[in-house]
Amino acid sequence: MKSALLLVALLITPLMRGENALPLPTSEAAARPFTDVKTAAPSHANQVAVTPASAGGLDIAVKAGPAGFPGVNFTPDAPYDLSAAGYVEAQVTNTSSVIINVVLRVDSGSDNASGNAYLKPGESGKARAYFATPGKGSKALNPSAITKLLLFIGKNEKVDRTVRLDAVVAGGRPGEQAPTNPDLVRTKPANGILFGGNVTFDAAKQLLPRAGAKAEAAGAGAGQAVNLTFTGQPGQSVLIRPVRGFWDLGDFLQVKIRVKNTGAAPASLTAQLTSRGDVSDFGLLDKPIAPGATADLVIPFIPRTPFEIVADPAQEQLEGKRGWGVKETPGARYTSHQTTGVILAPADATKPSSFQIVAMGASLPAPEAPPAWLGQRPPVAGEWVKTFEDNFDGAAFDETKWNPYSGNHWDQRVGFSKQNIILKNDGFGRLRIEKRDGFHNDDPAGKATTFATGWLDTYGKWTQRYGYYEVRVKLPTAPSMFPGFWLMPERGPQEWPKYRRTDTKDGGMEFDIFEGQSMWGPYRTTFGMHWDSYMKYHKTAGTSVHYNQPDKDGFLTIGMLWTPGHVSVYSQGRKGGSWDSPRIGSVQSYLIFDMLPGGFEYDPLDPAQLPAELVIDYVRVWQRKDLATAEDGPKAP
């Protein structure tokens, strides 16, 4: 292997000129090979085979199998210096019979950038990674110290695939950013206004009538409106959409449309929001609008019907399925930060009608008074006993309940520190992330880190099987925040290693009561379960679309009911969704609060917008008396 890597370095053209730098002109046409593709090493020797291609380049054959990122690697003895370039590009051809997604990842230490190419059978393309455009949760790369290149195809356990790597080139200008796809641009409307007031729209680009419906702009400036005409033919509707990309409505929980009936008879209009995920629940009027009258049509982000998880635990792999196994329900998959438009249609498609849309904007519903019992008991009947409570009333966290340290299996730039668990005698706990050099777990012998954050868990101190778990929290809004409250299994003898005691196999389960992603806004969270470990047999079910109504202070109250064969999630005492399955976890579990960067859909971390905090008012747990066991509760020191 060492000799092969030396050959890579010697074949770099013209990298090795004393200073190990690539003297590229600063133009797009200057892209040129800087390494011999035939020197790539398979990432998984038992699943990936590489051979020189007859037409030049390298043939890469990937057998069906369990590897998550099968492909090839380039790892030089000394880092590549590509400081005169702006990107690395893999030129590839799909030589298999199925569509493939080829990904190029470029590493510089712990940071990386990536690009991909979706290719049909026989199609050639370019996967390009820009140094100045980081991977999710990463920062811009140092192009003078590129430590590794990886070219891989996504996991597939059923179909063999082949690709030809024709060349790996560097080019572009230093500091060049990846071009923005206008179809993926997210725009936050000022004050949520989509049109009306001082916000106008481009009728030619934003109005799309269907099936013979008519739509046209009326008026100008603050008086601009949209006239809709429906002729009584089935399937008619009008889509009002952004000029480009998405409306980012993550700061809101509804869209309100001011509608005037311009027809001669009472009539109703329906509305739905469209998104990259799916459509929202319907906005419906309580009664028809009289001719000449106006009414407000409200489209809620929170579905009227709780979602239902129908995932089959016998399936070997649920990950990647739409909605994590959630049943098709109006609004269950609508993603507000990726809103692509509003569909307007007559409630009675058989009769002619006409309307004028006077204004349209996103907003938050007025806070409702919470149920009197919220925070005092579970939302379901039973003989319940409170078994755990922390109201964070003191000046420091309670070390008889919580551990501030743990392993970091996520972002290695971040270390856990007691200093980032903040209490101020004001009744709130805060997990704060900030840019601060230190060491993971405050251990000078441990890994050096450039960011610090707080962590709380009850491993070895408190567990419970089943019960109702509730928190009142306020989520952060800085980019790339990934806060959560979750449970992990803890069982077996204390002498077992932690990885074994926390294994999600054999009845164990990770319960994610909530996870936030600041890209989504402060009101949408996940609710999910993971089991059968995290490798080949990993399974998951749940939703990434759980909208929560905040209270008057902006806090979310989120709870999980866990009983044998059942789990459900609640927000402000209202049931959001549930899952009934014999595979639902059945072993003792401990509590975890975290405040991490990253996640699975997020903007890059921006140090300028730190510190950021997950604010915790309380955590409370109850146990139903008939489900209690001797293992529940505090553990002996």
111-135: pLDDT as tens digits: 888 889 989 999 999 999 999 887 6
Question: How far apart are the C-alpha atoms of 74 and 11, rounded to whole Å?
Answer: 13
Question: How far apart are the C-alpha atoms of 478 and 406, rounded to whole Å?
Answer: 24
What confidence score (pLDDT) does residue 320 get? 40
107 by Cβ neighbours in 10 Å (0-12 / 13-18 / 19+) ranks as: buried
User: Using CA of residue 514, residue 517, residue 521, residue 526, what is the dihedral sign?
Assistant: negative
Q: What are the φ/ψ torsions at residue 518 (nearest 5 degrees)?
A: -60, -20
Assigned token pair, 586 = 């059945």
Return the number of other C-beta atoms located less than 10 Å from residue 432's C-beta: 21
pTM of the entire predicted model = 0.83
- DSSP one-letter string for 319-373: TTSGGGGB---TTTT--GGGEEEEEEEESSTTS-EEEEEEEEEEEPPPPPPPPTT
Assigned token pair, 310 = 């129908």
What confidence score (pLDDT) does residue 345 get? 97
Question: How far apart are the C-alpha atoms of 437 and 116, rounded to whole Å?
Answer: 33
Per-residue pLDDT tens digits for 483-520? 999 999 999 998 999 999 999 999 999 999 999 999 99
Taking each continuous run of H as one helix and of E as one strand, the counts in the chain are: 3, 42
- DSSP one-letter string for 81-140: --TT-SEEEEEEEE-SSS-EEEEEEEEETTEEEEEEEEE-TT-EEEEEEETTSPPTT---
Cβ neighbors of 181 (< 8 A, separation 6 or more) are none
- The H or E element containing residue 49 is strand 48-52
What confidence score (pLDDT) does residue 2 get? 27
The CA-atom distances, in angstroms, between 428 and each of 389, 400, 425, 618, 619 are: 13, 18, 8, 7, 11
Assigned token pair, 163 = 């690709």
The CA-atom distances, in angstroms, between 347 and each of 255, 350, 353, 354, 372 are: 18, 9, 10, 12, 38
Residue with tokens 């356990």: 157
Question: How far apart are the C-alpha atoms of 543 and 526, rounded to whole Å?
Answer: 6
Q: Do residues 360 and 240 touch, judged by C-beta distance below 8 A?
A: yes
Partners of 527 in beta bridges = 543
Partners of 114 in beta bridges = 105
Full set of structural domains in the chain with CATH:
2-179 (2.60.120.260), 186-363 (2.60.120.430), 388-630 (2.60.120.200)
Going by C-alpha positions, the residue among 467, 471, 450, 461 that lies closest to residue 406 is 461
Partners of 90 in beta bridges = 127, 168
Residues of the chain where predicted confidence (pLDDT) is lower than 50: 1-29, 313-314, 316-323
